[in-house]
A and B are shown apart, each in its own frame.
Chain A
Amino acid sequence: MPILETRDLTHVFPDGTVAIEDIDLKVNEGEFLVIAGPNGSGKTVLARHLNGLLKPTRGQVFLNGEPISKNIIEARKNVGLVFQDPESQIVGQTVAEDVAFGPENLNLPVAQVEMVVKESLAAVGLSQLATRSPHALSGGEKRKLAIAGILAMKPKIIIFDEPFTGLDYPGVVQVLKEILRLHKTGHTILLITHELEKVLAHADRLVIMHKGRLVADGKPESVIYRVEEYGVRMPLRDGEKVEALTWLK
């Protein structure tokens, strides 16, 4: 049974924009899935359905075979979403306080909140900066803080919405390493990006979205040759293999 599944998922905004239409997607446990597509193809809208932030106009999302609408808190705990703009995700005055936001929402006892915060900060390597103001962090560190805030909820699935946007080379490497480490420790990863050259070598599967529809789905090495039809830059040069598509050396 897939850990996460959508059936006929469709979202029409009040102004009539059909953001996504008839999305059928099955994600297996432990998978590393890359979702690519040009701007406005509905990637963010899809991501926001997977933890119930947006309600579908039609269709459903299933977590472990159960519709997420049955228990929305369970869905939010299990499906962590790292937003495209880390600034909008920061609610704390200090790094530690920000990470505590999630567990405090779950009403965990104080001692347990502290423990979870310590663990999450250590996991992303931000322990030293616990008392800093989040706005004083670098781009890569901010993204890591957003990840720590999500890890504190102990999710099984983590969705990254364009995690490389606005990062410099070291920032991309930092974040990419973190994502791979999370995959290795058993998390299911959904990564939204159009910068395939940075990450595709690590993915198990590539899904392409175009104008709100899911237009291709399969092994990276087979789907990659069709990306250009759908407005995503073909990252491979002649003779190159998918394994070359990473910013980690």
Chain B
Amino acid sequence: MAEMTLFHYIHKNTVLHRMDGRLKLACLLLFSLAAGFASEFHDYLVPLSVLFCAILLAKLPFTTLLREMRFFGLIILIVIVVNSFTIPGDPIANSPLAGISQQGVSTGLRFAGRLLIVLLVSMVITGTTPLMKFRDAVEWYLRPVPFVPEARVATMINLTFLLIPVILDSFREMMDAQNSRCVQLRKNPVKRIKFLVFPLIDQTLRRADEIAYAMEARCYSEIRTRTAFKCGKIDWLMLAISLAVFFFVLL
């Protein structure tokens, strides 16, 4: 996981990196909605080109990201192919492949377009937003919601993201350790899973316990210093662009 660039924060000093997390979260929402509402060809073109500009603006390593998106490319391709063949409709004239329908192809392409928009917007957001900004923004939106302890939610987001790489690491290490003791000779998959899952859960709980103690030792409290948000004119401009894209698609 650590070797991947995709969906990881990439530290740069650009407008998008400095942008207020709250407005960024709103932009994320607008683009996702736009992806849902899009129907005509230009409905896809506009958000996609805006996102493309955003990637350039954020100075994200485009070629590396493209390479790591191969997997999603495959999924998108499968979506298009499956749709083309399975959705009934008028056959395409002069097509060398039998069984493809016009309706199928266009539905497939729409699906692919939506997926691509969501992928790119997630890429831009994760690439330019450190987790703490994202967490602070979520906390801010939760403040007016009654009965939701926003500080606790924020801490939970934090800990979850903190624990995931740790768990993955210990998973990989356990696999290696068991492989070096020839676990592959065991034919019973249930046993093999048992040898992995139970120690992993055990280790994770122990780890979580230690972290909880360490947090308590540093006086963990839900009444804590609140983040100061800063949002400038450029941040509002970004939101305006996102709104424009959204309404363009909607109308």
Q: Which residue of B lies closest to A87 (CB)?
A: B166
Among A48, A103, A153, contact of B213 (Cβ-Cβ < 8 Å): A48
Chain B 207-223 interface mask (CB, 8 Å, partner A; 1/0): 10011011111111101
Check if B162 sits within 8 Å of A91, measured CB to CB. yes
Question: Chain A contacts of B213 at CB under 8 A?
Answer: 48, 53, 83, 88
Check if A88 sits within 8 Å of B219, measured CB to CB. no
Chain A 40-73 interface mask (CB, 8 Å, partner B; 1/0): 0000000010010100000000000000000001
Among B131, B211, B224, B228, contact of A88 (Cβ-Cβ < 8 Å): B211
Report the contact-size class of chain A (Cβ under 8 Å from the partner): 35 or more
Judged by a CB distance under 8 angstroms, whether A124 is at the interface is no
Check if B217 sits within 8 Å of A105, measured CB to CB. no
Question: Chain A contacts of B225 at CB under 8 A?
Answer: 100, 103-104, 106-110, 113
Check if B224 sits within 8 Å of A107, measured CB to CB. yes
A175→B248 CA distance, assembly (Å):
59
Judged by a CB distance under 8 angstroms, whether A196 is at the interface is no
Report the contact-size class of chain B (Cβ under 8 Å from the partner): 20 to 34
Question: Chain A contacts of B224 at CB under 8 A?
Answer: 104-107
Question: Chain B contacts of A165 at CB under 8 A?
Answer: none
Judged by a CB distance under 8 angstroms, whether A207 is at the interface is no
Among B11, B161, B218, B226, contact of A76 (Cβ-Cβ < 8 Å): B218
Among B11, B207, B219, B228, contact of A105 (Cβ-Cβ < 8 Å): B219
Check if B219 sits within 8 Å of A76, measured CB to CB. yes
How many A-B pairs with Cβ below 8 Å? 77
Question: Chain A contacts of B220 at CB under 8 A?
Answer: 105
Judged by a CB distance under 8 angstroms, whether B88 is at the interface is no
Among A85, A97, A153, contact of B132 (Cβ-Cβ < 8 Å): A97
Q: Which residue of A lies closest to B221 (CB)?
A: A105
Among B210, B216, B221, contact of A107 (Cβ-Cβ < 8 Å): B221
Among A109, A113, A131, A153, contact of B218 (Cβ-Cβ < 8 Å): A153
Check if B221 sits within 8 Å of A110, measured CB to CB. no
A81→B159 CA distance, assembly (Å):
20
Check if A73 sits within 8 Å of B210, measured CB to CB. no
Please give the distance in Å from B152's CB to the nearest CB on chain A.
13
Closest 7 pairs (CB-CB, A-B): A88-B210, A104-B225, A102-B218, A89-B214, A105-B219, A105-B221, A104-B224
Which residues of A line the B interface, CB within 8 A? 48, 51, 53, 73, 76-77, 80-81, 83, 85, 87-94, 97, 100-110, 113, 131, 135, 149-150, 153
Task: Known pairs A53-B217, A93-B162; list 16 more (Cβ under 8 Å).
Answer: A76-B216, A81-B217, A83-B210, A88-B207, A88-B213, A91-B162, A91-B211, A93-B158, A97-B132, A102-B218, A103-B225, A107-B225, A108-B225, A110-B228, A150-B218, A153-B219
11 A-B pairs whose Cβ atoms sit less than 8 Å apart in the complex: A53-B217, A85-B210, A87-B166, A89-B211, A91-B215, A93-B130, A102-B219, A105-B218, A105-B220, A108-B225, A113-B225
